[in-house]
């Protein structure tokens, strides 16, 4: 069985309620950190990791996501006609080309949960394990988080590998949390995971964030998965069911993660990138702001 990760799923069909009213007409995944929408960071990360096929699980009301990720020939033509060659080149390079790139859009008509969204992609997966990327978890670092995970997965033995980071005890209730059994380099081994536990019941402080590499059997598990926390089909629950037979690992990525599904996380990500941009940095300095070093609000 191959351990090469060829497919990435981007679940982008959610309601984005925490960001209303911004997300009433604009998909959360298109909200920008500085000038780049969240979905673009996710797509770039998947490309860097060598993913061949990109599967977007979207909603009919969120067609702007497709318009963003695909080449817009009319716009690039218009930009070139106006002499804006470099902007046209940059847009073209960032976008998928209909003829050259393997991109699929699948609809999740009702937001029944992340697990259900992943299940919607089932018929579009290439052979081997599958990556799942949540665009509202922005992970910045020298090496893309998915690239690191693909490498670790290839040389490892676990069936499911999830990105994890240590969070303070008073934050565990916001995450899926691993039941840790040991550690091997950048991977913590686990025999299960729990979605959003109370601090007193949490098996560890290893919180799962939005990058996963999953054995294909996840689709069978999801097909029979009963609704869990919040009445939704939880990806966490289906992963946990396979933990004993497949092996489950938490990958402690080297980058810094920002929860861009929340206002505070989005602000932190914006400050982080602004500090690296000469024009924006001047604005921060003029206001006497100290420069951020990673997120404070996990």
The CA–CA distances, whole Å, from 102 to 13, 125, 126, 252 equal 20, 11, 11, 30
Residue 28 sits in the site that holds ligand UTP (CB under 6 A)? yes
Return d(Cα 114, Cα 242) in angstroms, integer: 17
Return d(Cα 146, Cα 162) in angstroms, integer: 10
Segment interacting with ligand UTP, rule: CB under 6 A, options 17-25, 122-130, 161-169, 290-298: 17-25
Q: Residue 39 or residue 180: which is nearer to ligand UTP going by CB?
A: 39
The residue of the chain with the least Cβ separation from ligand UTP equals 14
Exactly one of 13, 95, 139, 190 binds ligand UTP (CB under 6 A); that residue is 13
Which of positions 190-229 make contact with ligand UTP (CB under 6 A)? none
CB 209 within 8 A of CB 165: yes
Exactly one of 7, 40, 76, 108 binds ligand UTP (CB under 6 A); that residue is 108
Which of positions 115-154 make contact with ligand UTP (CB under 6 A)? 116-117, 134-136
Q: Residue 179: phi, psi to the nearest 5?
A: -95, 95
Give the count of residues interacting with ligand UTP (CB under 6 A): 23
Q: Residue 54 or residue 187: which is nearer to ligand UTP going by CB?
A: 54
Tokens of 139: 């992970």
Residue 265 sits in the site that holds ligand UTP (CB under 6 A)? no
| Type and span of the H or E element at 53 | strand 53-58
Listed in sequence order, the residues at least 6 apart from 267 whose beta carbon sits closer than 8 Å to its beta carbon are: none
Return d(Cα 226, Cα 161) in angstroms, integer: 22
Collapsed DSSP state (helix, strand, coil) of residue 198: coil
| Site pattern 63..102 for ligand UTP (x: CB under 6 A) | ----------------------------------------
Q: Which residues of the chain form contacts with ligand UTP (CB under 6 A)? A: 11-19, 28-29, 57, 108, 111-114, 116-117, 134-136, 261
């Amino acid at each position: 069985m191959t351990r090469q990760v060829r497919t990435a799923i981007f679940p982008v069909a959610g309601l984005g309620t925490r960001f209303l009213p911004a997300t009433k007409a604009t998909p959360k995944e298109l909200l920008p950190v500085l000038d780049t929408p969240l979905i673009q960071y996710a797509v770039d990360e998947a490309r860097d990791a060598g993913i061949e096929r990109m599967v977007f699980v979207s909603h009919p009301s969120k067609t702007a996501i497709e318009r963003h990720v695909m080449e817009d020939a009319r716009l690039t033509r218009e930009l070139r006609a106006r002499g804006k060659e470099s902007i046209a080149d940059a847009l073209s390079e960032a976008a998928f080309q209909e003829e050259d790139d393997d991109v699929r859009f699948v609809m999740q008509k009702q937001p029944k949960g992340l697990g259900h969204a992943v299940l919607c992609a089932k018929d579009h997966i290439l052979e081997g394990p599958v990556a799942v990327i949540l665009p509202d978890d922005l992970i910045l670092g020298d090496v893309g988080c998915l690239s690191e995970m693909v490498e670790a997965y290839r040389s490892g033995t676990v069936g499911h590998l999830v990105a994890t980071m240590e969070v303070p005890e008073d934050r565990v209730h916001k995450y899926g949390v691993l039941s840790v059994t040991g550690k091997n380099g950048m991977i913590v081994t686990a025999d299960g995971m729990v979605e959003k536990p109370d601090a007193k019941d949490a098996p560890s402080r290893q919180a799962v964030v939005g990058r996963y590499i999953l054995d294909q059997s996840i689709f069978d598990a999801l097909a029979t998965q009963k609704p869990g926390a919040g009445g939704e089909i939880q990806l966490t629950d289906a992963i946990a069911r396979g933990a004993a037979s497949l092996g489950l690992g938490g990958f402690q990525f080297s980058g810094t993660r920002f929860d861009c599904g929340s206002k505070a996380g989005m602000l932190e990500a914006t400050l982080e990138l602004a500090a690296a941009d000469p024009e924006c940095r001047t604005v921060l300095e003029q206001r006497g702001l100290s420069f951020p070093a990673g997120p404070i609000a996990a």
